[in-house]
Structure 1
Amino acid sequence: MARVSQEHLDARRRQILAGAARCFARNGFHGTSMQDVLKEVGLSAGAVYRYFAGKEELIAAIADEAFNGIRRAFEEAAELSPPPTPDVLLGRVLRRVFDGQVYGMERRVCAALIVQVWAETLRDDRLARTLDEGYTGMRAAWAKLVEAYRAAGLMSSEVPADDVARTLIAAAQGFIAQEALFGGAEPGALENGLRGLMSMNPQKAS
């Protein structure tokens, strides 16, 4: 029997995740059964359970993949000299989330799925741990980026790096929530808003 290539295994895993994400986005986590996922991806139960033991593992994998992608964007930015400013970087990350049409879904549907994952962590300890690990990793990546800003002379050292990291993550999370709830949350608007805030000069107000 011919051996299955790693590329085939990776493609099949992504096919399953994409189908599950579409089901979750349409009907929510609790309104989606594994039978729904099987029907969506057009595979047998054995083929799917080879990769995922159940719905909880699918949800955790989707959450983990989303966090890894965003964290990589931050880490790549920290390696640039000088690194892109927060307005440019957050716009870039949100375009990766939205315009990349994760799992082939429209922007608002993708945002809604992310918000569902956040909400699910309140009742699922395993998913909460996945989310916590992702959040901790993002904070570390942003803190590293703050150090790169300081090394390039773009930011003072008065404010703790983690405080800056948490604030910028909150800005991205809030924009994703806006898109999920109301639609029309263009990454360019976030860029412009942050650029405006960054241009404030407290000395002129005194």
Structure 2
Amino acid sequence: MKVSSEYMQAKRDQIARAAIEQFSRRGIHLTSMANIIEASELSAGTIYIHFKGKNEIIAYVARTTFSGLFAEVEAAVTTEPPPRPSELIDLITSRIATADIPSGLLIQVWGEAVSNQEVRRAANSVYEQALDTLREYCVAWMLSGEGKGLPTARREAPARAHLMVSLIYAQILQMSLIDGYDTGSLSAELATLLDRS
């Protein structure tokens, strides 16, 4: 029987949700494939059709989770005028704070990426995707929000995109590690640093 790509994707997402729940509860290292299989309510055979093992599941979770967090950036590139950089950081930070994925899990994935090449490749891929999207956003913002010419915007956008990714990752880290961290506490400082119109 032939199954649709939508069905296959739904199963992968079901497995990923089970893994996220287990990783969040037990930690990545203490979560076994047996834990994920049980939580997914699928057979081991079904799990291994979609993923070779836990490393591949972690890499998939890393790609899909971080990609979702940057959805606002992709939308902002086409908005006219685009939101100010500090507003965009606030949007992304708010999305992280209300996401189904605990920010602590994102930090666990980064930790895993230090020594796990498969997860590292996924983390680097996500970083490059975020950087490319933010670079496009920065060009759009500098053209419409700052009135700069296209050559100048293209020249300055990479450095500004790097800064924005760094700020977003720093927000994720602080949200994960600091009890009672106020995500809005940096808004004024971000506006001074990023909004140069």
Counterpart of 1:142 in structure 2: which amino acid?
Answer: L
C-alpha contact 1:71 1:137 (8 A) present in aligned 2:
no
CA distance in 1, matches of 2:50, 2:33: 13
**TM-score normalised by L of structure 2:** 0.86
For residue 5 of structure 1, report the CA deviation from its aligned partner.
4.7
Letter in 1 for 2:63: D
Amino acid aligned to 1:151 = L
TM-score, normalised to structure 1, is 0.83
Contact 2:69 2:92 in 1 (8 A): yes
- Structure 2's unaligned 5+ residue stretches are none
Query: Any idea what SS the aligned residue of 1:160 has?
Result: helix
Map of 1:1-206 to 2, 5 A cutoff? 4-102=3-101, 110-154=102-146, 157=152, 160-197=156-193
**Counterpart Cα distance in 1 of 2:6 and 2:82:** 33
**1:155, distance to aligned residue in structure 2 (A):** 6.5
Deviates more, 1:147-156 or 1:22-31: 147-156
Rounded Cα–Cα distance in structure 1 between residues aligned with 2:121 and 2:174 = 25
For residues 153 and 20 of structure 1, the distance between their equivalents in structure 2, rounded to whole angstroms, comes to 42
Q: Residue type matched to 2:17 in 1?
A: A
Unaligned runs of 5+ in 1: 103-109, 201-206
Match for 1:140: what amino acid?
D
Looking at secondary structure, tell me which structure has more helix per residue: 2
- Contact kept, 8 Å, 1:63 with 1:117, in 2: the verdict is yes
In structure 2, C-alpha distance between the alignment counterparts of 1:82 and 1:169, rounded to whole Å: 21
- Verify the 8 A CA contact 2:22 2:36 in the aligned structure 1: yes
In the TM superposition, residue 4 of structure 1 has moved relative to its aligned partner by 4.3
Change over 3 Å in CA distance of 1:90–1:153 after alignment to 2: closer
Q: Deviations over 1:156-179 (max 9, x none)?
A: 548721111111111111111111
Higher mean C-alpha displacement, 54-63 vs 26-35? 26-35
User: Aligned partner of 2:179: which letter?
Assistant: G
The alignment yields a C-alpha RMSD, in angstroms, of 2.4
Q: Secondary structure of the equivalent of 2:28?
A: coil
Question: Structure 2 CA distance, aligned partners of 1:199 and 1:164?
Answer: 11
Separation in 1, partners of 2:44, 2:147: 53
**Per-residue deviation, 1:199:** 7.1
Question: What is the DSSP-based 3-state SS (H/G/I as helix, E as strand, rest coil) of the residue aligned with 1:53?
Answer: coil
Q: Distance in 2 between matches of 1:111 and 1:155?
A: 36
Residue range with higher mean Cα deviation, 75-84 or 190-199: 190-199
Instruction: Tell me how far apart the structure 2 counterparts of residues 194 and 155 of structure 1 sit (CA, whole Å).
Output: 20
Percent identical among aligned pairs is 30
